[in-house]
Structures are given as structure tokens and as C-alpha cells.
Structure 1
Amino acid sequence: MASLLRAPLDFPVADSSSSSSSSEFPYRFCEARKIGGSLLNLGRVNVARLRIRLSIEEKHISIRKTSKEPIQLPRERIENERYIGADPFKELEFRFRGFKQQNYVENLSHYQNLAEGQSPKFMVIACADSRVCPSNILGFQPGEAFTVRNVANLVPPFRHGGSETSAALEFAVNSLEVANILVVGHSRCGGIQALMRMKDDSDSSFIKDWVSVAKSARLSTKAAAGNLSFEAQCRHCEKESINGSLLNLLTYPWIENRVSEGTLSLHGGYYDFINCTFEKWTLVYREGLEGGSKYAIKNRSLWS
């Protein structure tokens, strides 16, 4: 187990000369996609703020047609931005209306199917950090990923007792029967920084008590990278803690059983928002692996 946690997770830098040009980008933005038995029309990818502004402009164009006032887009745009800035929930309102008009209505049958039940393929455990949104980063659509987020994307061991994370795991595995659990960590994680700065004799706090779940990752980081800078140690620990969480998943009897049966797979992911890259790997768990271990890492890849 310790050797798995110390296993390096570095990936070779992608060769930019072999990357495809933008015209050969493999994803098609105008397509129908099947999720949960229904077609979801993804349409063109639009920036949320662009949608908001279009919604604002359409609203005011309609007003001008009724009142026959002269068009003054620049001034009105400034006034609307000031109006939204005064109340952040107004921006959320415009975003919701944009979602309803441009997504919900266009994919009504899909959302009606989701209203009857969900059958996601993924259970995602991610950090509560506002910069790390799994649906935004990985493009999950409604109905695809059952998600729980907490400080430092940690999975406590089974013996830790009840928590919102263990409750979510129980429901996702036993009721929804997800096929994949993905633990997503990220760069410059405040929870991991708190873990690495933690003093054993310091006063107790909610944060200290929670991040202590990953104290084994802290210890292995100190042993393997203690001579490096604090930033480098944190980066090392961010990945160590993901592997620690993957191992903790196997302490849940119903997760271990499904992994052993081959009906559930455990995966780690690391999002570097400094360079916008994503590392992904899979934890293998079975008897008789090389070296007599039950654990191994396979299918490492770097998305850049």
C-alpha cells in the first residue's frame, strides 16, 4: 500500500508538434448525445456571460419595439451591467432563464425522463474549491454524474463513521449502481495546504479534523519530497491524497465487493488549472499482482 502511495504520478509533456490543429478538434459541438436513454441536443458551446448579454439585449429590443424608443445598446448595456452588479442574484436569474430557454426547452424529453429517475455512469468526488467544477471541466451533462464535493476531495475510511461523503457513496454504489467512481484533485488546493501546514499540537478545528483524514499522504510526502519547496510538497501531496482516497474507498465492504466482481472501477484525476491539464489513472485491485501486492495503477494518461 505504501509503495502505491509513493508511486510517481508524473506524466511526459505532450509533444505540441503532434497535436491537432483547431480545425481538427475531435469534438463536434452540434450533435445529439444520448444520456439515460434520451437524446440530449448539446448545441453550440456558448459562454455563460454571452448568453446573459444576449438575453438582456433581446429583452430590451422587445421593449424598444413596444415603446418605439431609439436604439442605444452601449448605454443600456452599461446600465444593465450596473443593475446586475448591484444584485448578484439578478445575474443568476438571467443565467437560469438562459438555461431554461436554450437547454431545458430544447431537450424537454430528456429532462422529463430525468424527472422519473437517474442512472448516472459516474460517481464524482471533487473539491469544494470554486475554481474546480467537474461539470464545467469534464463536460458532464445532467444525469451523467452523481457528485459530492468536500474540502480537499477526501474520502474518509469506512471506520471513520457517517459523513456526507460516505452517505453519497452508499447511495451511488448500492442504489444507483454507478460503474465508475472518480476522485478529482487539483492544483493549489487550500485543504492540502492546510494539511501540510498542520501542527500536531495545534488547537482542534473543523478543518484540521477533516484534513487529518489524509495524514498518511502528508507523511509519505514528507518522506519523499521533504527537501523540496512548500509548493512542490503540496503538489506532491495533492496527488498522494487522491491515491489515499482511492485506497480508502476499498475499506467500504460494498465497494470492495463490486470492485472484486468487476462491476465497479475506481479512478483518480488531477486538474491543474495553472496549465489547464488533466491527469487520469485507474486503481487495479486484485490478488496476485506483481510483487505480491493487491494494488496497482494502470491507464495513466495526460489530457492537455
Structure 2
Amino acid sequence: MERLIEGHKKFLAEVFPRRRNQFHLLAESQAPEWLFITCSDSRIVPDLILGTEPGDLFISRSIGNIVPVSMSDVDGVTATIEYAVDVLKVKHVILCGHSDCGALKAALDRPKLEKLPKASRWLHHVEAAFSHRQPLNPEDGAHAELASLIRGNVVAQLLNLRAQPSVARAMMEGRLAVHGWYYEILSGRIERFDEDARRFVALVEE
């Protein structure tokens, strides 16, 4: 805890004073342009990866960057999507998966979830990933099989995202675009799912 407390002290002493006016504006309202749906994984830091600032991204995180389409109870992901699209009027929704995703590892080895009933139930929502596996990429090396499934999960969850009533309505009205991304932790690079080509391509051409 001391590390966090010291970090907050530094924020109060060095960061906040320089950006006081920005935080003053954010204190009473927000108008993010993007809803960023990603995994709970501690290695994914959207503002660091994308160079965004406080107030830019409305973020939803859950293991496996899952967008449920059928649950008997209320879930935070779809509630967040509804709020972002219908109240905040975001213009883009980005669904971002990542390499070495523990959720998809677990989906490949279900017995390890026997003592995690809630996680096991949640991961039923990634079953469609197996139907959307992407071609193996030699650049993924020994992890090609897992990376193929993780990319497939991005496609599956992107379809679930489009099925959300608020999203479908906003897209029909022409005020919302959705995007599927895959973030490679080792290289720091992002791939986007090309809807026309039905494959992942580099977000930034080199």
C-alpha cells in the first residue's frame, strides 16, 4: 500500500497542480468520444497505449473483454455500453483483446476453473470464439494457437457488441462506429479487424 500512497502524494504535489484547470472542467461533466471495452488484465493500460487523457475514454473492463448477449441477471458490461451510447453519446466503441489472455487460456483448459464457479460461468460467453478462430500467424511463434483463439474472441465479442440494442440503434442512425482490436503486449502493436477482408491488419502501417 505504501507504493500507492506515495504515488498519490506525487500526484497531489506534481501532477494535479499543473492540470488543475483540466480537472476543474472534468469535475462536473464528461464527454468522452470513445467507449473502450477491454480485459481486466493489469498489463493493459489504455491511456498509456493510446496517449489519451482523463475524460477521453469511457472504459469497461472484464476478464476476457466479454460482451454478454444473454444473462438472467444484470451485468455491468452491457449496462456500461447502454449508458455510454445512449447517455454519453460516444461516437466509437472499441473492443480490444490482447495477447496471452488468461481468460482464453482457461477456455482451452476448463478443468482449471473447477474452483472458480463465477469465472467459469462468465467464460461461457467466450465459447463462440472457437467458431471464429483466425488463421495461425507464424509471427506468434509457440503461442500461435492461443493468439488465433484470442483474435477469434475479439470477432465473437464484436458480434455480441453489434447485437446490443443501444449499439444497433445508434449504428442504424449513423452516429456510432464499432471497432475490434488485438493488442500484442510483447511488441506494443495493435491490430484492427478489417470487416471487409475478414482478417486482422496492422492499425498503424510501418
Structure 1 unaligned spans of 5+: 1-88, 284-294
Structure 1 residue aligned with 2:44: 132
What is the distance in 1 between the residues matched to 2:175 and 2:145?
A: 35
Is 1:168 the equivalent of 2:80? yes
Return the match for 1:263 from 160, 166, 175: 175
SS of the aligned residue for 1:125 comes to: strand
Task: State the 1:174 CA deviation.
Answer: 1.1
Structure 2 residue aligned with 1:253: 165
**1:265–1:282 CA contact under 8 A, matched in 2:** no
**2:132–2:156 CA contact under 8 A, matched in 1:** no
Task: State the 1:160 CA deviation.
Answer: 2.6
Aligned pairs for 1:1-304 within 5 A: 89-157=1-69, 159-161=70-72, 162-198=74-110, 205-221=117-133, 231-281=143-193, 283=195, 300-303=201-204
**2:132–2:155 CA contact under 8 A, matched in 1:** no
Task: State the 1:103 CA deviation.
Answer: 2.4
**1:186–1:273 CA contact under 8 A, matched in 2:** yes
Q: Specify the code of the residue in structure 2 equivalent to 1:235.
A: A
Task: State the 1:276 CA deviation.
Answer: 2.0
1:144-176 alpha-carbon deviations (Å, 9 max, x no partner): 01111110111111x335201111111111111
1:12-37 alpha-carbon deviations (Å, 9 max, x no partner): xxxxxxxxxxxxxxxxxxxxxxxxxx
**1:195–1:218 CA contact under 8 A, matched in 2:** no
Aligned length: 198
Structure 2 unaligned spans of 5+: none
1:170-216 alpha-carbon deviations (Å, 9 max, x no partner): 111111111111111111111000012236xx788222211110101
Q: Which has the higher contact order (CA 8 A, sep 6+)?
A: 2
What is the distance in 1 between the residues matched to 2:32 and 2:173?
A: 19
What is the distance in 2 between the residues matched to 1:252 and 1:276?
A: 30
Percent of counterpart pairs with the same letter? 27
What is the distance in 2 between the residues matched to 1:215 and 1:281?
A: 19
Which TM-score applies when normalising by structure 1?
A: 0.59
Task: State the 1:298 CA deviation.
Answer: 8.9
Task: State the 1:253 CA deviation.
Answer: 1.5
Instruction: Tell me which structure has the larger Cα radius of gyration.
Output: 1
**2:101–2:150 CA contact under 8 A, matched in 1:** yes
Q: Specify the code of the residue in structure 1 equivalent to 2:150.
A: E
Q: Specify the code of the residue in structure 2 equivalent to 1:277.
A: R
**1:156–1:248 CA contact under 8 A, matched in 2:** yes
Which TM-score applies when normalising by structure 2?
A: 0.85
**1:187–1:272 CA contact under 8 A, matched in 2:** yes
What is the distance in 1 between the residues matched to 2:71 and 2:194?
A: 24
